[in-house]
Amino acid sequence: MGRPLLESIFAGIAPTILYDEPLSMHTTWRIGGPADVLIVPTTLEEVRTVVLTAHANQIPLFIIGRGSNLLVMDGGMRGAVLKLGDKFASVDVSDHSLTALAGRSIVSAAHIAIRHGLSGLEFATGIPGTIGGAVTMNAGAHGGEIKNVLAKATVITPAGTITELFPDELEFRYRHSIVREQHLTIVQAQFDLQPGDSNQLQEKVRTWSKRRLATQPLSLPNCGSVFRNPPGDFAARLIENAGLKGLRRGNAMISELHANFIVNVGQARATDVLWLMCCVQETVQQRFGIRLEPEVRIVGEDETRR
């Protein structure tokens, strides 16, 4: 679908509409070709209008937040990309619950909860994503998961219906929910938390933060963990024991600090990241008989198809 037609369809639908926008500007890996159109809404009604418009015109719609846990191919993405970011990020704390719009950083929400003396979200202080992304993938760390604290999520269906879903309806499992399969758009989440001591919670988070700084390559663009941990083991241990730390393809490299991170050391391309991922899978399979499954989501088109 050409730009003139997209402009006529989406004109005035939100304050920020960008055409042929490089998605490398909107992913934590700093990798990715252009989106045909990228729309940044500021209100719930704008989000609903974008969803309805895309559905009515049979235009593919993809939702992003901070673009973590995402590898966008070098050819970019056709159709519309809806970005729920800082303009869609209000948060409210009441009694023992925290409610936030989907564009809010999950790290920020967790710190707000801690400052209010609420426990339950502190595990998320190291997860580089938004509320919407965290709910969509049932994000977790340090033994905690979104499914354990989520009270309900507000979603928009492809037909534009706004409804609330409870954890059992989202069918959470390890790094998964039904959000993508049902083409739902998470717009808000409410978390049920417990009273906690702010000082103790902050000390726990500081300890975790120091460990991350010492063991993860946070100074270089990355997407977090690339592969899921197989049952009873750790992907990083397997990759390291396979001798793959430091392996490089172009400007993409398996981190020498943490083997389950692939870092962008320059102008890395998605094809280089994919090459490394395939190399990891094949080598670990040959050495240990274990097939590592990607945790990162791969989307978009090869550059040759654009």
Write down all domains in the chain, each with its CATH number in brackets.
3-83 (3.30.43.10), 91-201 (3.30.465.10), 217-305 (3.90.78.10)
- Per-residue pLDDT at 117 exceeds 80: yes
Average pLDDT of every residue of the chain: 95
What helix, strand, coil percent values describe the chain, rounded to 5?
Answer: 30, 25, 40
Percent of the chain having pLDDT more than 70? 99
What is the C-alpha to C-alpha distance for residues 200 and 299, in angstroms, rounded to an integer?
Answer: 40
- Per-residue pLDDT at 303 exceeds 90: no
What is the C-alpha to C-alpha distance for residues 36 and 157, in angstroms, rounded to an integer?
Answer: 22
pLDDT at 2: 85
The residues assigned a catalytic role are: 175, 225, 295
Strand arrangement, sheet containing 248-249: 248-249, 252-254, 262-264
- Per-residue pLDDT at 306 exceeds 60: no
- Per-residue pLDDT at 85 exceeds 70: yes
Predicted confidence band at 209 (pLDDT cuts at 50, 70, 90)?
very high
CB atoms inside a 10 Å sphere around CB 212? 14
Query: Residue 238 in contact with residue 290, Cβ under 8 Å?
Result: yes
What is the C-alpha to C-alpha distance for residues 39 and 46, in angstroms, rounded to an integer?
Answer: 10
Residues 6 or more apart in contact with residue 164 via CB below 8 angstroms = 152, 153, 154, 155
Q: Which helix (H) or strand (E) holds 21?
A: strand 16-22
Q: How do residues 241-264 score in pLDDT, each as one tens digit?
A: 999 999 999 999 999 999 999 999
CA-to-CA dists, residue 112 to 94, 125, 256, angstroms: 12, 10, 33
